Structure 1
Amino acid sequence: MTPAAAQVHAPIREDWLRRTPEEALDPGIPILDAHHHLWDRPESRYRTGEFLADVASGHDVRASIYVQCRTGYRETGPVSMRPLGEVETIRAWSADAPRHPSAIVAFADLQLGHDVRPVVEALCAAAPGRLRGIRNTTAYHPDPAVRSNPRPAPDGLSRSDAFRAGAAEVARAGLVLDVWAYQTQLGEVAELAEDLPELAIVVDHCGGPLGLGPFAARTDAQFDDWRQGIARLGRLPNVKIKIGGFGLRVFGHDYHLRDAPPHSETLAQDWRPWVDTCLAHFGPDRAMFESNFPVDKGMFSYVALWNAFKRLSAPFGPDERDALFWRTAARTYAVDFPAHTIEEDDVCQDTR
C-alpha cells in the first residue's frame, strides 16, 4: 500500500472482516446503494466482481450508483477529456452486470467554467442513459491531518466564479452535482445552492462531520457547528443528502484498530446522532443511504453496514424506509429501479 493511501483509508482485510459474522436483517427490503466506487490500484483491487461479491452477502441490493474516484482515466488526448476513460472503464468492467452500476456520477473539471459543456456532452454520449451526475474533488481543510483523498483539493474551488459557471452547465444538462465537503465548508455549499436554485445538489457522506486532527475531541460545539450547517442545507429545496461514509478516517472512528470488526448494533449506536440529525433536517424523501464501498470496507462489512441502517430506520414506516433505501436515490438520479419505474425527465436532454 502506498503511504498516501495508507494514511487516508483503512486497509481492507477480508480475514479480519470475517471475525464478526452476522446475517442480513430484513433481507426483503429492496436497496439501491446510492454511492460506491470501483478501482484497480496498487494497494487495492475492487472492480465490479468484488463489489458483486459484497452485494451477494445477504441484502437485496438491486441496483447501485457509481461515483467518480479517478478510475481508468485516458492517458493521452486533451486533459479535459481524459476523465471519459473512467466512464469507459466502468462500463467495460460492468458489461455483465448492467444494474451495478445503474447510474454513473463522473468527473468533469468545473473549473473550466462554461467551457466544460463539450466535456459533459461527451460524458453523456459515452454512457447513454447512465450518466446522471458530476462530482469534483472539493473537500478541503488546512490541517494536513484532515485528508480523505490522496490528492486533496485546494482551498476555494466551490467559491470560484469558474466553478459556479461549470456547475451551471451541470444544471443545464439536467445532471446532479454531487458534493463532498467537510463540515467547515457547508456554508460554501449552501451559497452555491442558493446562487443556482435550478441545480440539483446531493451532499455526500452526511456533510463531512470531522473527528480527527483539530476535531479529535468531538466537542459539543463542533457537533453543533456541523448540525447548523446541515440545518441550513436542509432548508434549501434543491439539496439532498447521502447518509453514510462513517468508515472514512476523517470521521474519527477507529474500528480498524480493534481486534474484530464492529457488529451492526455498535455501528447503529455510534452513528445515531448524525443519522438522526440528517433525517430531522432532510426527512426520508430527501435523504438516501450509501455504502461508500470499498472506502468504508476497511472499517466494517457490507452486511453490518446495511444492518446498521436497518436498525436506525426501524422506527419509520414502510414508505419512509423505501425512500431511504431506494426511492429517493432512484428519483434523484432517474434510475429505473427493478420492479418500479421512476417517471422523471430524461437527463442530458440539452446535450443530445
Structure 2
Amino acid sequence: MQVVDSHIHLWDLKTHRYPWLENPGVSFVGDARDLKHDYLLDDLLGEAGDIDVLKLVHVEANHDPADPVEETRWLQSIADRADSRGMPNAIVAAVDLSAPNAPALLEAHASFANTRGIRQILNVHENKLFDYVGRHFMREPQWREHVTLLRRHDLSFDLQLYPSQMEEAAALARAHADTLFIVNHAGMFVDRSSVAGYRAWRDGMRLLAGCRNIVVKISGLAMFDHRWTVESLRPYVLETIDTFGVERAMFASNFPVDRLFGSYADLWHAYAAIVDGASVAEKEALFRRNAERCYRI
C-alpha cells in the first residue's frame, strides 16, 4: 500500500528541547511518558512494515517556543540529506500568531524550501482535562491580524480545534478565502458521552465543509479511542469523508502519538478496510493525491 502521510512528528531529545516531554504525564491522549525517547525519520520508516511511505508532512511537535524556527531548520536539514528522499517533504511550522514577533517568525519559516504551512493549536475546552491553551486565540485582534500574513508567504494553516470552536473557525476561513485551512484529526470529536456532543461535532464539521478553502485530515482518532478497531473507527471516517467529499479529505497517521495504541501498518490497513468499496481514483485521492495537492509536494 502506497501512502503520503500528511501528519507525523519527529523529535530528537538529545539536541532539541520539547517542554512537554521534559516531565511527561498521562492525559486523555495517552501516556506521554512512553513518548520520551528520540523519534527520528529512520524510526518511522523502520516500523512502516508493508506500507510504502512515498512522502511525509511534518507538523510542529511543540518544540521549544523560545526558538520555533530551530525546529524547521533541523527538519530541513534532514530533508536535504541524500538518504532522506526529501523527507519530510512538507513542514508545518509553529508560530504564535498572537505574539508581536509573529511576522518575523513567519518570514523566517518561509525561507526554508519545504515549509508549507503553520500550525498553532487552538483547542479550548471548559473541562481542564481537554483544554490545551486556555485562550480563545481566534477572538484576539492581533492574532486575527497576523492570520492575514499567511497568504503573503503562501502558507496554509493547520486547524486543530474542538467542535465548540468550529463556528468561529468557519467565519475565520470565510474572511480569508485565499488561505487554505486544514482541519486536524477529523475535528477532534471530544464530547462523546452525549448525543449533544455528537451533534456538535457533526454539525460543526458540516459548517466547516461549507467553506471551500477548508479540507480535513482523518487522523488522531486513537487519541479518543484507545482500544480502536476497524468498526469503531468506521463511522467517524465515513462521516468525515461524506461531509467533506473525497477530494477534500486525506488520511494521516499522527505518529508517533497514535503509536501508543497500535502499529503503523495496522492503522493504514484499517483505513483501507473502511474504504474498501471506494473506486481506485477515490482511494488515490484519500491516501496520496489530496495530501500532495494541499501541501504542494
TM-score over 0.5 (shorter chain): yes
Task: Classify the secondary structure of the residue corresponding to 1:275.
Answer: helix
> Does the 8 A contact of 2:118 with 2:156 survive in 1?
yes
Match in the other structure for 2:5: 33
Q: TM-score, normalised by structure 1?
A: 0.74
Residue correspondences, number: 274
Task: After superposition, give the CA deviation of every residue in 1:98-125 in whole Å (9 maximum; x if it has no partner).
Answer: 3321110001221136x53332221122
2:127 corresponds in structure 1 to 143
Question: Where in structure 2 are the equivalents of 1:1-352 lying within 5 Å?
Answer: 27=1, 30-41=2-13, 43-55=36-48, 57-71=49-63, 73=64, 79=66, 82-94=67-79, 95=81, 96-112=83-99, 116-125=102-111, 127-128=112-113, 130-147=114-131, 152-210=132-190, 215=191, 217=193, 219-248=194-223, 251=224, 253-255=225-227, 266=229, 268-335=230-297
Runs of 4+ in 1 over 3 A off after TM superposition: none
TM-score, structure 2 normalization = 0.87
For 2:42 and 2:53, the matched residues in 1 are separated by 15
Q: 1:70 Cα deviation (Å)?
A: 2.5
Whether the 8 Å contact between 1:66 and 1:103 is mirrored in structure 2 is yes
Q: Report the CA distance between 1:216 and its aligned residue.
A: 5.1
Distance 2:288 2:264 in 1: 16
**Which runs of 5 or more structure 2 residues have no equivalent in the other structure?**
14-21, 23-35
Q: How far apart, CA to CA, are the structure 2 residues paired with 1:274 and 1:216? A: 12
Tell me how far apart the structure 2 counterparts of residues 182 and 40 of structure 1 sit (CA, whole Å).
29
Is the partner of 1:111 in helix, strand or coil? coil
Alignment partners' CA distance in 2, 1:286 and 1:123 = 26
Per-residue displacement from partner, 1:180-228 (whole Å, max 9, x unpaired)? 1012211121111122111110000001101xxxx352x2321111100
Q: Specify the SS of the correspondent of 1:38.
A: coil
Shift of 1:175: 0.9
Distance apart, 1:133 and its partner CA? 0.2
CA RMSD of aligned residues (A): 1.7
Deviations 1:151-202 (A, max 9, x none): x212211222212111110122111100110122111211111221111100
SS at match of 2:98: helix
Where 1:89 maps in the other structure, the secondary structure is helix
The separation in 2 between residues aligned to 1:159 and 1:290, in whole angstroms, is: 29
Quick one: distance in 2 between partners of 1:98 and 1:91? Answer: 12
Which residue in 2 is equivalent to 1:344? none
Could you tell me how far apart the structure 2 residues matched to 1:235 and 1:157 are? 22
Counterpart amino acid of 1:48? L
The alignment-based identity, stated in percent, is: 30
Query: Counterpart amino acid of 2:86?
Result: R
CA contact (8 A) 1:34 1:65 kept: yes
Give the Cα–Cα distance (whole angstroms) in 2 for the partners of residues 93 and 111 of structure 1: 29
